A and B are shown apart, each in its own frame.
Chain A
Amino acid sequence: MSNTKSLLIVNRHAPYDGMYAKEAMDAALIGAAFNQKVSVMFMDDGVYQLLREQAPADIRQKNTSLTLPMLDMYDINNVYVERASLQARNLTEENLLIPVQVIDSVQASELLGQQDIILNF
């Protein structure tokens, strides 16, 4: 496939609420493997996917946060978190496992508007 498109993966579900976190990560990495311009945004309960020190073994789930560093390995450097979603959950960047760009809701809206493809999870 010769042309390059911008692909935004939007994460809005808490981790371990179904397969969303895992499937979103799969889609992001495949987009990168297809040489597309991939960005990832976390908003609403999706910000919980980024928390440090997740311990889901007690509920018989795999720790999806362990795959977050894969984004950097696949050169996906545009990782965004919506500020209001963090604030509403009393979280700051200090609570997050990987470096992110915190954006406000106007910037989030602009980001959505700039994309060729948006996949919601």
Chain B
Amino acid sequence: MKYTLAIYGAPYSSQAPQTALSFAKSLLESGHSIYRLFFYMDGVHNASAIAVPPQDEVNIPAEWSALIRKYDLDAVVCIAAALRRGIIDKTEAERYEVSAHNFAEGFTLSGLGQLVDAGIASDRLITFGP
């Protein structure tokens, strides 16, 4: 089946991202496909390229990037939710003239329409969090 996962929780604040990550891996290993990962609300923090948890803890943002790269997944981060929380890519950092950017590789900034589109196009839409 074709799945979309909507992730609303931030890593280390919520268990939702870890559960979603495990679920995504299980889906792909079972032969299902992922139409889209959509990161919304506090879930945008999963797309931070500069999270540095201690070495004996899971680096959830890095695991997402690795999974996205391995399976060439479509991983969309809600742009409005991201920008207001300080998750920003190079293009938007230049547009808003802020001094840094921190958007992880493999993710894309786009609008909430991508979540609704994914709901229409997928067999299952599963929400993780808040």
Residues of A at the B interface (CB closer than 8 Å) are 1, 3, 5, 7, 18-20, 23, 26-27, 30-31, 33-34, 36, 116-120
Q: Which 6 A-B pairs have the closest CB atoms?
A: A117-B119, A30-B116, A1-B120, A34-B116, A30-B113, A31-B116
| Set B40, B111, B112, B125: member contacting A117, Cβ < 8 A | B125
Given the known interface contacts A1-B121, A19-B41, A19-B81, the answer about A27 and B116 at a Cβ–Cβ threshold of 8 Å is yes
Bound state CA distance, A64 and B1, in angstroms? 37
**Docked-complex contact A23 and B40, CB < 8 angstroms:** yes
Residues A7 and B41 in contact, CB atoms below 8 Å apart: no
Q: A20-B130, A34-B120 are in contact. List 12 more A-B contacts (CB 8 A).
A: A1-B117, A7-B116, A7-B119, A19-B81, A23-B40, A23-B41, A23-B81, A23-B112, A26-B80, A30-B111, A30-B113, A117-B120
Q: Are B119 and A5 in contact (CB under 8 A)?
A: yes
Considering the chains assembled together, what is the distance between the CA atoms of A86 and B6 in angstroms? Answer: 29
Nearest CB on B from A88, distance (A): 22
Shortest Cβ gap from B7 to chain A (Å): 13
Q: Is B127 an interface residue (CB 8 A)?
A: yes
Q: For residue A117, which residues in chain B have a CB less than 8 angstroms away from its CB?
A: 119-120, 125
Q: Whole-angstrom distance between the alpha carbons of A49 and B120 in the complex?
A: 27
Q: Is the CB of A27 within 8 A of B120?
A: no
Min distance, Cβ A89 to any Cβ of chain B, angstroms = 21
Which residues of chain B are within 8 angstroms of A33 by Cβ–Cβ distance?
A: 113
Nearest B-chain residue to A3, judged by Cβ: B120
- The reply to whether the CB of B104 lies closer than 8 angstroms to some CB of chain A is no
Q: Which B92-129 residues have a C-beta within 8 angstroms of A?
A: 111-113, 115-117, 119-121, 125, 127
Nearest neighbor of B111 in chain A, beta-carbon distance:
A30
Alpha-carbon distance between A5 and B115 when the two chains are bound, in angstroms: 13
Min CB gap A87→B, angstroms:
26
Min CB gap B11→A, angstroms: 17
A36 to B117, CA, bound (A): 10
